[in-house]
Amino acid sequence: MRQTDAASGVYRADALLALTDDTGLIQHSKYSLPDPQHGYSADDNARALLLAAELYARRKERRYLDAAARYARFLRYAQLPDGRFHNFLGYDRHWLDAVGSEDTLGRCVWGLGAASAVPALPAGLRAALLAMLRTALPQAGRLHFVKAQAYALLGVATLALARPGRGQATRAAERRLAAGDAVREEALASLVRQLTEQLLAAWEAERDGDWQWFEPQLTYSNALVPWALLLASRLPEEVRRMRKEGGGAQATAWAELADDAACTLAAKARRAAVRALDFLAAHTMRDGIFVPVGCQGWWPKGAAEGALYDQQPLEAYEMVAACRTAENLLHEDKYRRFEDAAFSWYTGRNLAGVPLIDEETGGCFDGLTPDGPNANLGAESQIAWGLSCMLP
């Protein structure tokens, strides 16, 4: 059994729920005390929405559904008429920005798309998520930055993969939607293709010799990019399977994702993702220990090595998810080893040899510094640890 499989049953959400109030998820904490001085972010609430949805699907406890509704309500408040989102909200409920970054939009598309694909959520809530997603999709097609594009691709690909086999719960949510709020298969298919092409263009522009990457340096959320491409590469296979099983009208709606051009694009995406993930593993695995690129300097192209600190919990989660996806697609044992190493970063197999999980709360510390764990229990760390434990 994978460590992640065992962790899903014992994961504690105390620290996440402690950060959750009537407005949404507070960004930061001072040790285990939620810190209102820093307010809230749409980035965190969008990703917490997915975690709460997965927790509710597995445990059916009302507190997780209530949390998901709070995070969704925050996003509803954050969304601008043009589909983009504010990001930072003060504790006094006044917005601190005119509009969030491209990463904010990408993360919101991921959270909305992935959470709306969780059938355990009530139909009315899922309909509201789909309506927000529908408003955001045109803006997702205008993203320029690699990580933002990858987050958006992750959201639309997750929803697209859930659609062909959608059952009664999904159809119930969709029946709630007014015509103007519906997320059409053709729109998802078109955006999947566009975002995949954009990421592959970045890959071709930046990779060079031994540097097999999408950007001129390894920075944050590195494993996100190959993970998104691997997930999107599954779509032609799923659509063709649906056709063989008599999918009828559904298969026709997804035609753009199963034609010869789409299959060629998916194969290119998978090849690039595998090479990039192997490159990332070669730069972050040291004698079986996962050493994510530190945020104090990153790893520029051409440098002999990257920054060791500070190491962030999000890097471990996205590496776990990317390697789980690769192992499921390719059936190569090395990806299971990489996954286990990345997950073990939380539990003590890291450069400091200390757990990043707080025994008292079950929460995740805010990263690994040269002096050991950062003892604060902020929102992103709780989301990363929780989603690592909830992987299907």
Task: Out of 7-16, 212-221, 351-360, pick the least confident.
Answer: 7-16
- Residue 346: CB atoms within 10 Å: 25
Mean pLDDT score, 164-192: 70
Structure tokens at 307: 């920054």
- State in Å, rounded, how far the first CA of the chain is from the last one: 13
Cα 282 from Cα 288, distance rounded (Å): 11
Q: What is the pLDDT of residue 252?
A: 61
Q: What is the pLDDT of residues 353-383, one digit of tens each?
A: 999 999 999 999 999 999 999 999 999 999 9
Q: What is the pLDDT of residues 326-360, one digit of tens each?
A: 999 999 999 999 999 999 999 999 999 999 999 99
Question: Across the chain, where does the E strand assignment appear?
Answer: 26-30, 33-41, 88-89, 217-218, 285-286, 289-290, 299-300, 368-369, 372-373
Q: What is the pLDDT of residue 238?
A: 84
Q: What is the pLDDT of residues 23-32, one digit of tens each?
A: 999 999 999 9
- Residue 98: CB atoms within 10 Å: 8
* The residue type at 257: L
Structure tokens at 101: 């970054």
Name the pLDDT band for 184 (thresholds 50, 70, 90): confident
> How far lies 384's CA from each of 105, 129, 314, 321, 388, in Å?
18, 21, 5, 11, 6
> How far lies 329's CA from each of 244, 325, 332, 358, in Å?
20, 6, 9, 34
Phi, then psi, of 99 in degrees rounded to 5: -160, 150
Residue 20, helix vs strand vs coil:
strand
Q: What is the pLDDT of residue 242?
A: 73
| Helix, strand, coil fractions of the chain, as percent rounded to 5 | 55, 10, 35
Structure tokens at 217: 């340096």
Q: What is the pLDDT of residues 67-120, one digit of tens each?
A: 999 999 999 999 999 999 999 999 999 999 999 999 999 999 999 999 999 999
Cα 191 from Cα 139, distance rounded (Å): 11
β-pair type (368-369, 299-300): unpaired
- Residue 387: CB atoms within 10 Å: 22
In percent, the amount of the chain with pLDDT more than 90 equals: 83
Cα 188 from Cα 264, distance rounded (Å): 18
pLDDT at 36 over 90: yes
Name the pLDDT band for 244 (thresholds 50, 70, 90): confident
Q: What is the pLDDT of residue 289?
A: 98
Mean pLDDT of the residues in the chain: 92
**For the packed helices 146-162 and 102-116, what is the interaxial angle rounded to 10 degrees?**
10
β-pair type (26-30, 33-41): antiparallel
Q: What is the pLDDT of residue 23?
A: 98
Q: Which helix (H) or strand (E) holds 192?
A: helix 185-206
Closest CA to 66 of 29, 20, 26, 35: 20
Closest CA to 17 of 382, 387, 366: 382
Q: What is the pLDDT of residues 51-75, one digit of tens each?
A: 999 999 999 999 999 999 999 999 9
Cα 387 from Cα 375, distance rounded (Å): 20
Mean pLDDT score, 310-327: 98
Name the pLDDT band for 180 (thresholds 50, 70, 90): low
Name the pLDDT band for 239 (thresholds 50, 70, 90): confident
Name the pLDDT band for 171 (thresholds 50, 70, 90): low
Alpha helices in 79-116 (DSSP H): 102-116
**For the packed helices 260-284 and 333-347, what is the interaxial angle rounded to 10 degrees?**
50
pLDDT at 247 over 80: no
Structure tokens at 75: 């996003």
pLDDT at 8 over 80: no
pLDDT at 207 over 90: yes
> How far lies 377's CA from each of 31, 32, 63, 65, 107, in Å?
6, 6, 20, 22, 21
- C-alpha torsion sign, points 47, 48, 51, 52: negative
pTM: predicted TM-score of the whole model, two decimal places: 0.94
